[in-house]
Structure formats: C-alpha cells, structure tokens
Structure 1
Amino acid sequence: MNDKKRLSIFLSAYLVLLVLLATAVGNVAAQGPGEKGPAAGMPSQIVGPLVGPTVNGTLDGSDPTFTRPDLSAAVTVNCASTWTPNPFGGGFYYEAHAFHVTNNSPIQIEVNAAGTTIGDTFLSVSCQPFNAAAPTVNGVITDDDDGAGYLSAITLADNVTLTPGKTYWAVITTYGVGDTGAYQLDFSDNVVLGVPPKKWAWSTNAGWINFAPTAPNGAFTDGVAVYPDHLEGYAWAENAGWIRLGTHTSGGAWTYANSSAADYGVNRNPTGGALSGYAWSSTSGWIKFDPTWLTLGIANTEGASVARANNAEATAQVTGSPTRLGPPSPVQRSAQELRALREAPSGNVVRDGSFELGTPNPFWTEASTNFGTPLCGPGCSSNSHTGLWFVWFGGAGPYEAGSVSQSVIIPYGQPATLSFWVSNVYCSGYDYDYLKVNLDGAPLWVTTAADPSCGAGYRQVTVDVSAYADDAAHLLEFKSEVFGGITIFFLDDVALDANYGVTVDGAGNFRGHAWSENLGWIKFSGTAGDNTPYQVQVRCVIDVNASGGVDIIDVQLVTSAFGLNVPAYDFNKDGAVNVSDIQFVANRWLVGC
C-alpha cells in the first residue's frame, strides 16, 4: 500500500471520529429538560447484593398518578428539598412504600432488573408525610439511572444517612408518562418496611413491655404480628422475659379460639378489634386480654341492686331540722399517707366514691358557698347511704352552690356505667333548685326540688357513659344550686363500672388494659400528663405497603408475588404466595385490618 493510500484511509477514519465526537457533543449540548444524559445505560452502581427487604409490585392503570419531580443532584437528609416538577406534566403511575432505618449508616435501594419489566424507572425518597399532590416537598433524594441500564438506585455514593425512629417513603414511578410494568425493589439490611412501631406497654409490677423487640426486614419473627382475627408472636418484658401471644402450625392452621387459660392464643374481633384469649409468660403465667371478669367495683354499694331505681313516689314527710350544721372537722393526714393513697395500685375509675376519706379529700375537689365543702362526716353520718361520710348539697337558707368533682379515665372501647345513690331530702317545690351530674361540662342527669321523689329516701341512678370510654381524662362533677329557701340533696356511693380489655384498631394501635395473674394490670396507650408516655402500634401484616389501611396496592403486591416464597405475603405460612393469600388480603380491602 503506498503512502498516499495510507494517508487517505487515515484521514477517512479521522473524519469519521470527528463526526462521532461532534454528534456526541451536539447531543449533550442539545439535551433538553428531562432528557437522558450520556451516563444512562451504565451498569448498576449498587454495592451488593442487597440482603434487606424486597418489594415486588406492578405499575398499571389501577395505580394513582402524580406529577413526579424532576431529577435533582441534591441530597437533603433534613427533608428540605428544592425539587421542581418534571417537564412532562402529570399522569405518572406510582406506588409509595413506607420504611424506617435501624441505624444511621447510608441506605441502598435498587430497582432490581431480575424482577422488573419496566424499561425505565424513576425513584425518590421522601420524609413523612409524603404528599402525592406536592411530591417536591419533604424530599431527600431522586434518582433516574444509577441502577442497571435505565433502572434506578440509591447507592452508597449518594451517602443517604437517615434518622432511626422516623418514617420515610420510597416512591417508585416511571421515566415516561403512562409507562407500566412489574418492578422489584431491593433494600439494604438497615431498612425495615413500614412505619417505626410504637412498642411500649407498661406494667406496674413488671415495668416496660416491648411489643416489637425485633422485626428484621419487616418479617415479624420475634415481634408481635397483628392479623384481622388474631395476634401472634412475642413481646419482651424487661423484668419478666418473653411473653408469647400465639403461634401457627405448619400448613397455616391456627388455633386461636381460646376461652380458658389452657392454650396460647390471642383472638381479635375483625369488626371492632377487641381482643380475647391468653398470652403466656414462662416466668409470670397467663395474661388475659379481655379481663371482663374484673368489673371495677369503685365504691361500697353494700350489695345493692344495680338496676335503675328512679321511679316517682309520693312525697314523704320530713322530720327533724333541715338546716345543716357547720363545716366538718378536717381529717389530718401526713404527706406520706397522702402519697400512698394517690399511688396505690387500683382498678377503680372513681377514687373514694363513698367519700370515706373525708375532707380535705385527696381525690375530690370540693366547693361550697357557705361551708367550704359539701362533705358531711361523723356528726351527720345517720344521713349517709353507707359509711360515715357523704355529700350534703343545699340546706343553708340563703343561696348555696356546692360541688364535688374528680378527673376520671374510662378504659378505651369498653361498656361503662356511672352509678350513684341520691336522695331528694327536702324540697322547696321550685325546679330552679337542682342537683346535676356533668361529664366534661355536658349534663348527664339532673333532679330538681320539684321532683316527686322528694322525701322518698335514697335511690340508685345509673347512666351509660360508654361514649366517653377513650382512655382520656374526663371531669366528673356533681353540682348543685339552691336559690334561697330550704332544699337538700344527699349524694353517696359513686361508682363507675367499666370492663377492662384491649382493642387493636385497623392501624394497629393497641388501647386498653390486659391482666396478668402474677403481674397485675398491663396498660396500653399512655394518656396526656403521663410522666413516661407509652403506646403500642404494630402494623397489620396485610397492610403490606404500610399505608395505614388495606387498599388496592396491598392486593396488587400480594398478587404480583404469586407462586413465590415471600414470607411477608405468605399469610397462611405454607411456603408460597397462593390464591388463599390473595383472597385473604382481597377480602379485607376497603374493610380494613
């Protein structure tokens, strides 16, 4: 080959190279908003394999849509994203998965090509709350193509270090508008699917009880699992060891219909969430979750009937002086005695309902216009219903206003009945002289000086207060006003009968009280004012996307794993996701856990 020919070939190759370079530079220079850059299609940047939880799902027309954010180079672990919307507008199918982290090591998330048919994905991580109407807010990181090919990944190089105990959202969508297909999300082993559990119950005698001691990779192997009709798994008491709520046998056959302390099993009513049955502690014995046999005897009623007794009777003659004597002598107590009274373990809702602790009373707030207190003691004990002390309203001659009140906490979700004994002793005949019962300022019951029961003696009144059974503090008040003349009302033996028990709502919140034969009461859900607030919330296992309810995405996720061994979706524990698992979650769609 002569030199001229060699030069010609060299120049041709050189020109081709220049054209290719010019084309590449031109493409980069001409790259519009949202278009792919030269790095797209590279191998995955994940350092793996990832051995944390896996989510298999499908994006299709049954999913919600949103306007996804545009790609941003910023990583804002403080949730202060300044993302902008993508240039294509709305219509992107998406699915969002809640998760939390066990430590502050960098996380990794990868769209795994092995389980993905979508050609081009887009992934973002946001802080709680994720709002599809404003997806550029609360963001941490976005990614387009750091996975294999055109798939997405959050890598170690991104250095996304999140805070344990907070909720985050992994949002999977597509690069192109309206694209559909299957996907597989793999997470690093410091990621746990679902919201962080609120895990602490309290036992006066056993201390803290952890209902989510471990939940590796979202599989409830050691913690407590909430199903629509039962609970299973283990809790851990710091001073009593493991507490076993139930187990399953091979093939998915559970035996949770327990009505006696003879076998493991905590049942759950799928409609109202009320629990029943027994857990077991090897050191503390049986724990009952519906201790309705422990009705709260709040006051001494001397075996009196609990039936309503408010029938009108003929007015009886009143003998003796209707004028009340002076205020009773105060009862003297040391600070140590008062502290012991207030801190004594008790199942009572109303404390000292028979008023036998006198005045000043450690539980009742007392007020009287003329006497300082409406409580009357040994000097007038012949007028009490039981014991030595009771409440005397009115009887002063001039205007008299009196009241006793107490803050009470009524166990959540259980039937509750307020009862008390009252006597219209002497009546002016005017209906503006009254005695009434208030709960949080709302009137529950009232009698007046025109009541035909005047002079008939004590009668028991019962009032249903189940509507207030929410584990919150409520102000119970007995209040009277007498506007001159002589009108007298007596009050004694106040009781609030409430059945203790535990309910678990559709979001996995535990409320109420359980009873241990050797540990006493175990309380769920702290109330305002507790020095050490506590609460138990364990995600329902069929809420697989941790949205707080059972929705179509849960059904899709379980269906997409059909035939696979995915423990989180294998509800009947038979080794594979099958039709029964799909039916199980589908039957609770829209109904809830």
Structure 2
Amino acid sequence: MRSQNTGHRPNPLRRLTRRGAAALTSAAALIAGGMLALAPQAVAAPAASQASSGSVANPYSPAYQHPYRHGALPTLQQHAKMKAWAASQKSASVATGPETLSYGGGIDGIGVQSGHSKVYLVFYGTQWGTQSTNGNGDATFSGDSAGAAPVAQEMFKDIGTGNERWSADLTQWCDGPNVTTGATSCPANANFVPYQSGGVLAGTWYDNSGASPSAATGHQLGAEAVKAASHFGNTTAASNRDAYYVILSPHGTNPDNYQGQYCAWHDWNGDTTLTGGAVTSTVGDIAFSNQPYNMDSGSGCGVGFINSPGTLDGWTMTLGHEWHEMMSDQNPAGGWTNQTGSSYNGQENSDECAWIAPGQTGGAANVTMGTGTFAEQASWSNDTNACAISHAIVGGTTGNTVTVNNPGNQSGTVGTAVSLQMTGSDSDTSQTLTYTATGLPAGLSISSSGKITGTPTTAGTSSVTVTAKDSTNASGSTSFTWTISTTGGGCASPGQKLGNPGFETGTAAPWTASTGVIDNSTGEPAHSGSWKAWMDGYGSAHTDTLSQSVTIPSGCSATFSFYLHIDTAETTTTTAYDKLTVQVGSTTLATYSNLNAASGYALKSFDLSSYAGQTVTLKFTGTEDSSLQTSFVVDDTALNAS
C-alpha cells in the first residue's frame, strides 16, 4: 500500500504544493528516462548452476529466467557479455555440433509456418500520433520521428520479391507427422516452409483506443495480439495458423523493460509463463512479437550497424530476426531450436547469428528485394552448417506469385453507394483468387470475387488493405486510402469553433470549469501565452472538470485537438491512480493517467467528422486519488471544421 500524503494545504495555496511536487517529479522522471545517469556498478555474473531453472543456459541472455522471451535479440553490449561467458565454458561434446538445431515435436500440431505467412503490423497506442498515408499506401504517424512505420510495411511487402534469397534459408525447415522429435533435417514428405513469394504483409492497424503502457508487460503485449486477431477477422484457429502479429510500441515507451537488455522477442499466446499469467484466446494459437521502438536504444540495438547513419538498421534487422525465428519455431519451442546442451542451448536460428559484423562470414548485410533494400542479419542453416544471409530454395517450393492491382486512392460521400471491382493476377493462371480486405470505411464490404460495395455511413479517411489468395495459400496485397466526406455540398462554415481556446481571457467563459482550473502561475507553464487549464495536482482526493458546448457545421470534417502536459509524483510504472478522461457527449475519446507523465506538451487530436450538424459537449474530467499528486495541464484547444 502506498503511504498517504498528509498536511496538503487547501485553497488558496494549493498551487505551491503542486509546484513543489512537480519539481521533485521532474528529477525522478529524468532518472527514470535515462536523462540523469547514475554511477555504473559492477554486475556479478549469475551462477552458472542456475541455468537449470530454464532452457537458456547463458546467464547473460535476456531470456535467462524469462522463458517467454523467445528469440530475444540482446543488445550489442549484452551480446558481448554472452559471448565472453560462452568462451569461458568448456565446449560440450555433441555429435551434431554445438549450433545444430533440432525439431521440438510441435505444439498443438504446430512447429513452423508451413503456409504463406500473413504478417499483421499493430501500432500500439496513441503515442504514435496522427495517422496519415504516404504515396505507397503505407500508414505514417506524426509521433514516428525516425520514419520506422512505413519502412516496416515496405519490408514485409517486399519479402519474396525481386528474387531475394535472404528468406530462402527458411525453406529447409519443416513440421508435420513425418518429422520425428529431435530430427536435425527434414524428410522429403515433410511440410516445408515454402518460399514466401509476393510479400507477407497482410494488414496494418493503428490501435489508438488508448495510450500504450509506458512499460507494457509480456501479458499486455500478448493480450494486444489476441485483440488484433479479432480486429483483422481472424477468429478461428485455421485463420491464425499462418498469422503473425507484430506489436509495435511507440517512441519513448519501454515494453517489457527492454532498454539495456534486448531489442525484440517473440512468443505465442499459449505460453503460461507470461507476466500476469497466460493470455486466453478463443481464436486459436496466436504468434506475436514484442517490437520496441528500439532506435531509442541507439547503437545498442543496431543504429549504424551496417550503414551510415543507419538509423533504421537495427529496426529492420530485429523485425527480420523475429520473423525468421517465428517462421521456424511458431509455437516455441515446438519448432527448430538448439537442444545440443552447448552454450547455444535454447537459441533459435537467428539467435545463433546475431550481431555478426558486416563483411564477416555470415555477417549482416543490406538485402535488395523487389522495390527496396533493407538491413538484415543472417540466420543459421543446418544444411550448410553456417549463418546464411542468402540461401538456395531447398525443401520448400517457390510457390505462386499473386499480385493485386492498386486502384489508387478512393473518395466518396456519406449516404452515396459505391462499387469498386478489385483485380489481380496469379502466376498460375489456373488459380482463382479469393479477396479479403481490412480497414474499409464503415458501411462497405468486399465479396470473395473482389467487388467492394455498400453505402458509407461515416466521414473520415481509412487505410485500406486488400489481399488476394489462391488455393495454394499464395497471396498478395495492396493498400490505398479511402476518404469519405459528409453530405451537403461542402463545409457550411469552416474554421475554428471553440471559444477562448487558449484561455487567454483569464476566465473560463464560454468554458465551464471547476474553481481554480483556469490558471496563469509559473508552476506549470502554459503551452503558449500565459494562461492554461490546470486540473488536479492536489495530492489528495479531488476532481476537476472543464467543458464547452460547440456546434459542428453540417457538411464539414472536424478535428478536435489540444496540447496536454502531465507530470506526477507517482512512482509506479504499472498502475493508473490518477486519470484524465476526454469525452464528446457521453463518448470517451481517450483516457490518460499518471502512467502517461512526460516532460513537455504533447499534441492530441481526434476526428469528430461524424458529429457534423450536431451540437456536442467537449469535456475533460480529472480525477485524483488520496495521495501523490498528478497534474493534467491542457492548453491551445481547437475544433477546426473544413
């Protein structure tokens, strides 16, 4: 139980209390965020005898005593410690060699992805910012300062195109009833991983239903993957058999406390060792990965590893690392892992080739695909007994190539029916394509033959991905935007609609606010000007409100935005004690808490186009519990109609 704050001064002196707490919080935030360095301490190696507590023997591995972190790619610094420890051990005497992988027998009948992989990218949390679409049909985000999101999409679109052979290493791995547990090679009648012709990106989703946790647990990441499966309509075990959900956390977050330890890992929802207990799924086994915004770790997670400046080198390398490992070990460790008892014990194909410098045998390199070049690392190959950055297609077949024609960005109007026939082609002309789509505007649907029909019901811009698949599970996809406007022949009255948007009159009107909320003290500076709305910050049980009714003109698109700064004296990284709720009418747009505390203001924006022609009430409600202050400061509000 947290100790209770006592002795807080009531009004009119509460601002002094808030200023003092804010100053202490700022120092704590700097330390927690790594902006104030603490003196480094020597870290003793864990006793090697502890290795028996998990399948990973190396005590410096980020997966040591964290068995759900399958294929965890350590930071460069942590990798060096792992190598040094391994070199200090006596080599195990094994007939197959210390790096040879063997088959784990499958879990729930699954060892590898023996069909055409379907990769779903899940951008997890409102910190990604405002979503837009670039000329390639990729989702982009205002909070993505490194431009990582579109590169991830292009990489997965490009796998299996342009005759690239980086992914062909996977075609030696297999599963099925004809593969014996412990096998180190595949029989001819096995179910091989096929060469992934035509790309593997199956869809993208911006889950902006709330903020991503500052340090999401493994359980929260697994739950997000199960949530994503339902979002994409994969509601059966069969539809998830070849699916893979990449949970991409935003800049500034620390999912599963990756900083200083590792750069990414993968798992599946059946793993009962996840923090907080097993993730329950009613839609079959869910393969997913934890993909932090690891550019925040700099060179430790591969920035500049191959190229200069190479900002996204480690980003694409870790995305590729985890995908390779998921493909060869979908439900860990039922697929192909190291079971030799050597220092590589418990590792997967990409683990064994991590951080080999460019130019060395098996080193990382730029891989050219159909439309782009991406920094990737090699993966272990049993059949060549080496780390392979390029490999011949072996057990798997090249498969068919499916192409979906891009119709260009689309537009429409609420209440006006649309009809769009999608087209595509298959390298095997005898095949019939079956079409699916994600992200269609509300009111529209696609038939199996690729015809999109319906009547749009809601204004806004959607990122649409259409996928076509043939009977061999070969698939292709294309993405484009679809903008739906409101009826009425244009916006009746464009412009900014809120009164006193920056509170610079020094009074609330036409806002309705709790006493003392409109404030010009320097304890919490305004975003611009002198005045702002400062809710809570007492360090005791308290509720503040701020609201205004506004009419959104008919025929208009409308965006509600504001700048928000949160600071707190709370020290928890897992529990939301103090909350700010933002509503339009009775609908909650977002909820923020002490977990979202950060230095400076952040711009928040919401599409209210569906409320055109209505008068709505915009409302902020800040609720603080009985101890440890949290301040929610709002400034420069706007409701722009266009």
Normalised TM-score (structure 2): 0.23
Higher helix share: 2
Instruction: Select the structure of larger CA radius of gyration.
Output: 1
